[in-house]
Structure 1
Amino acid sequence: MATTTGPGRQRTPGKHRRPGRACRAGARIAGVAGLATASVAGSLAAPAAAAPATPAVAAEEASGRPDTGLTQAAAVSDSLAGRIADQARTQRSAAEAAAEEAARKAAARAEREREEGERRRAARAAERAALHRYVAPVAGSHVSTAYGAGGAMWSSGSHTGVDFHAASGTTVRSVAAGEVVEAGWSGAYGYNVVVRHADGTYTQYGHLSSVTVASGARVGAGDRVGLSGSTGNSSGPHLHFEVRTGPDYGSDIAPLPYLREHGVDV
């Protein structure tokens, strides 16, 4: 049912009726008051409900700067760079130590090789010197019968060597290095020794009272080959010394020039 409120207007009664101006103003005032009350209540409740601050937040509050995550990333980056630098220094130190040790070993090896080379050269020089060293067959002696002397005592009619004065038992020495090719009894020569030398010549030591080397032995200059005596066809103790171009009787050459050519003062 329509109600007339003024000239030409009608108002429909019931729930769809629009609130009056006074009512609308009262509602707005109530809404504002409610929001203010809720804001105050939230502010009062916030300290009790707030969670503990995180390290990042604490750092931010202490520094007064907002934490964007870059601070933590920079710290991690600096720590990683420090570890990498430490590892690099450790590796560099190890490499330097290894290089120094390798250099030390190389120097020691070179020194050993140098010393070994010097020993080998010295040994070869000594060997060459020994091959070219000559001595008198009897030390401090003299010739009692010359080479080529004639007489009925020698089957060839002449002396095929030289006789060195030597009392029985005097040491008889090889005049040079060589190999013993004969050692023992040899008829008219009695006990004798024959030595072959590096230059292809042979030397013989006769009328010995004893032989002190065996056939096949190696001897050096000055090594004892026997003791002087008067065995075989001999008129008294002495050393019969021959130089030969071969091992057998009849290939003799003059002994004194041979010795002197090799530096022996006889």
Structure 2
Amino acid sequence: MAFTRATGKHRRPSRAVRTGANIAGIATLTATGVVAGFAAPALAATDDAPRTEDTGLTQAIVIGDDTADRVGEQAEVQRTSAEETTARLQAEAEAKKEAAAVKKAADEAKRKADAERAEKERADREEQRKRLNAYVAPIDGSYVSTSYKASSGLWSSGSHTGVDFHAAEGSTVQSVGAGTVVEAGWGGAYGNNVVIKHNDGTYTQYGHLSSISVSAGQAVTAGQQIGISGSTGNVTGPHLHFEARTGATYGTDIDPVEYLRSHGVGI
């Protein structure tokens, strides 16, 4: 059966009816996952303006499963990127902290090494100073057998210009202090003799040696062997004639015992 209706102009639904229908449509689309919106012209139209039939809905955007997946993936990428950034920053901070600790340890080790080296150098200098300024007796374990300024016709000056140390033939004779040999050889009445200039500008002489172990110009240290005792020159028997002088020439002699004592040698 066909339905018919009277011809003539039909009235469209009123604004209130249309608006209610639109709202109901939006609610239904939202509940089913479809987002719908109103077109501004549809709401702005008046009853009198000619227009096409108003369906109550001019635009609808449907978010499908693919779009939702892409949004989720983007969110996961952003979350992962944030975690990686945080981890990288933490790793960089730890690396800087570790590098600072390593540098601090290295600096401390260098400081200690420098301090130890400086202390060793200071100790070496002190040892060198002591060695250069140290004095010993010309013959270990000996004693003075003839004193300084003793009178006798045996000496051309009428008195002894040095002291005699008791020494059997072949005893080791050593330099009393550091210095430089200025004479080594025959010395007339002194026989084989050695003369040494010391660091303080004084001189010492060793006479009547049976042999000489050094040469002129040679540097010597305290306690270094310079010869062997004997009885060469003007002597009555083996011994060591030892003199201390303020100059290199004869006649500048000073008391040898006081000289050695002033340098810390017990005689």
CA distance in 1, matches of 2:116, 2:181: 34
Superposition pairs for residues 219-238 of structure 1, below 5 Å? 219-238=220-239
**Deviations along 1:10-66, whole A, 9 cap, x unmatched?**
xxxxxxxxxxxx98849xxxxxxxxxxxxxxxxxxxxxxxxxxxxx717x8xxxxxx
User: SS of 2:226's equivalent?
Assistant: strand
Amino acid at match of 2:185: G
Residue 263 of structure 1 aligns to which amino acid in structure 2? G
CA distance in 1, matches of 2:112, 2:73: 58
Task: Give the match's secondary structure for 2:152.
Answer: coil
Q: Give % identity.
A: 50
Q: Which amino acid aligns with 2:112?
A: E
Shift of 1:213: 1.6
How many residues of Structure 1 are paired with residues of Structure 2 in the alignment? 209
Identify the residue that residue 71 of structure 1 maps to in structure 2.
Answer: 72
What are the Cα deviations for residues 186-210 of structure 1, in whole angstroms up to 9, with x where unaligned? 2221111111112211111111111
Is residue 146 of structure 2 the alignment partner of residue 153 of structure 1? no
* Matching residue's letter, 1:57: D
Q: Tell me how far apart the structure 1 counterparts of residues 128 and 187 of structure 2 sit (CA, whole Å).
A: 32
Over 3 Å counting, the alpha-carbon distance change for 1:80 and 1:232 in structure 2 is same
Q: Which letter does structure 1 place at the counterpart of 2:65?
A: V
Equivalent residue number for residue 131 of structure 1: 132
Alpha-carbon offset, residue 228 of structure 1: 0.5
Q: TM-score, normalised by structure 1?
A: 0.72
Match of 1:64 in 2: none
1:151 shift after superposition: 2.1
The residue type paired with residue 107 of structure 1 is: E
Please show how residues 1-150 of structure 1 align to structure 2 within 5 Å. 25=4, 57=65, 67=68, 70-150=71-151
Measure how far apart 1:136 and its partner are.
1.0
Which structure has the greater CA radius of gyration? Answer: 1
Moved over 4 A (4+): none
- How much does 1:92 deviate? 2.1
Q: Distance between the aligned counterparts of 1:68 and 1:91, measured in 2?
A: 34
Local SS of the residue matching 2:195:
strand
Q: Which residue of 1 aligns with 2:253?
A: 252
Alignment of 1:166-245 (within 5 A): 166-245=167-246
Shift of 1:85: 1.6
Cα RMSD after superposing both structures: 2.3
Deviations 1:67-120 (A, max 9, x none): 396533321211111111222222223222222221222122111111111111
User: Is there any run of 5+ residues in structure 1 with no aligned partner, and where?
Assistant: 1-21, 27-55, 61-66
Partner SS for 1:144: strand
What one-letter code is carried by the residue in structure 2 that aligns with 1:77? Q
| Distance in 2 (alpha carbons) for counterparts of 1:90 and 1:23 | 81
Q: Give the aligned residue type for 1:164.
A: F
* Counterpart residue type for residue 201 of structure 2: G
Q: Which amino acid aligns with 2:223?
A: G
- Alignment of 1:165 onto 2:166: yes
